Amino acid sequence: MLISRWSLRIFSKLAFRNKSLVEGSKCPYLLKLFEPVTSASRYYCIKLEGPSDTLNYQSNTPKPFDDIDYDSITGGDEETLSKLKRLILEIDLLYESGEQVPSHLRVDQWQNLLQLSSRSSRMKHLKYLFLIEKKKENRIVRKLEKRAERIERYENEPKNNHIEYGLLRNSMFHRIYEKQMNSLYNYRLCEAMLYGQDILIDCSYDGHMSLKEQTNCAKQLLLMWSYNRTHKDPFNIIFCNVDKESTVFKGLSKTIPTIDDPTFPLNYTKKNYLDLYPREKLVYLTPHCNEELKEYNHDDVYIIGAMVDKMKVEPLSLAKAKRDKIRMAKLPLDLYLDWKQGTKNLTINQMIMIMADLKIDNNWVSALKHIPKRKILDVDGYQRGLVGSNHKISAKRIRDDFRRNSVYNLLIKK
């Protein structure tokens, strides 16, 4: 009892002394040193200094379902509306979890998502749309950067009192605008409609392609038509078996808004190719048959199937040609090229490139240069062609020469 009272007196004296020392001190840091312990508070998390509304913070980033036209997507159908609401909740969950979701979805994209049955297919399609959106954004950024660099380079160039010639300056030549070039290309297509060679594009494979493959097919058709109009001897391309409500034709008409104009040089019809030409003249180009196309025959009318089969490769064009009892042929790729990797199914625009060059001089070596180099073993050194007389280099000889040269180079390095 005596010890406890004595200890209390000592603590009270020390506290009075510390208080007087702090009040008479000129150093401000002593105030923190002798601050009473009773004012301390304990927190188990970080205390926010801002207002309490920051806890309910919401991002200003637009979501793909902020502005939705429900009537245009569903058409007033209650079942489709309930399905759309479930889809919105699913996309919201993906968006909050950080998945690759585009920032905006059009009406047709919502309708395409509603047609997909599984969640994995919807996620793949959303990722596909996200990548396309980012590609467009990067393309715009690169275009603006190039424009800024060009303007900066033009402003930093030394000035003189003479007349300056060049881009964005004076010129002694007449400038050819893009509109004039388009008129020239369209004139070539009109000339091909009158006097050129016909080639058919069979557009009856929409039911055998996925949504992504149909979109890719529309892009390939656009590239095919653009290359053909710039060729020095273009084809008269005729799209047959066309369904105007299909995804492929809608994608093509979206990129070519004037496709239905009567003066636009593009022919399409819903008729079959058997209703347009006699059966004896038709030749279906398919990679699944055994007959090879030896040379280009100007009396024949060739058919190319408008199909992209990345997911599953099926001989649909072969079955259709057999069902219609018309001739079939494939490109002699094994005869002129040593294949390295990938399938031997070429894209639609590559087929038009090859056939357009083959039509001029029947030279397979120059026509097959449009095949991507990544699919060929060695384009420059091992491309097969005519050697001496009519003898052709075999695939075995090419592989043996390649191994022999590789071993010889290895011995030289050692």
Query: Mind listing the pLDDT tens digit for each residue in 81-103?
Result: 888 888 888 888 888 888 888 88
Task: Kindly state the percentage of the chain with pLDDT values over 90.
Answer: 28
pLDDT at 357: 92
Q: Are 283 and 301 in contact (CB under 8 A)?
A: yes
pLDDT at 40: 41
Say how far apart CA 180 and CA 321 lie, in whole Å.
41
pLDDT at 57 over 50: no
Predicted TM-score of the model (pTM): 0.65
pLDDT (average), residues 277-301: 91
Residue corresponding to tokens 């502005």: 67
pLDDT at 401: 64
Q: Are 84 and 73 in contact (CB under 8 A)?
A: yes
Q: Are 240 and 273 in contact (CB under 8 A)?
A: yes
Q: How many residues can be counted in the chain?
A: 414
pLDDT at 207: 85
Residue 69 to residues 75, 76, 110, 115, 304: CA-CA distances in angstroms?
Answer: 10, 11, 10, 17, 39
pLDDT (average), residues 202-219: 88
Task: Look at 249 and 374; give whichever has higher pLDDT.
Answer: 249
* The two three-digit tokens of residue 201, written as one number: 């594009």
Task: Look at 413 and 117; give whichever has higher pLDDT.
Answer: 117
Judged by DSSP in three states, 250 sits in helix
pLDDT at 387: 43
pLDDT at 59 over 60: no
pLDDT at 313: 76
pLDDT at 118: 87
pLDDT at 39: 42
Nearest partner of 226 among 218, 300, 95, 66, judged by Cα: 218
Task: Look at 135 and 155; give whichever has higher pLDDT.
Answer: 135
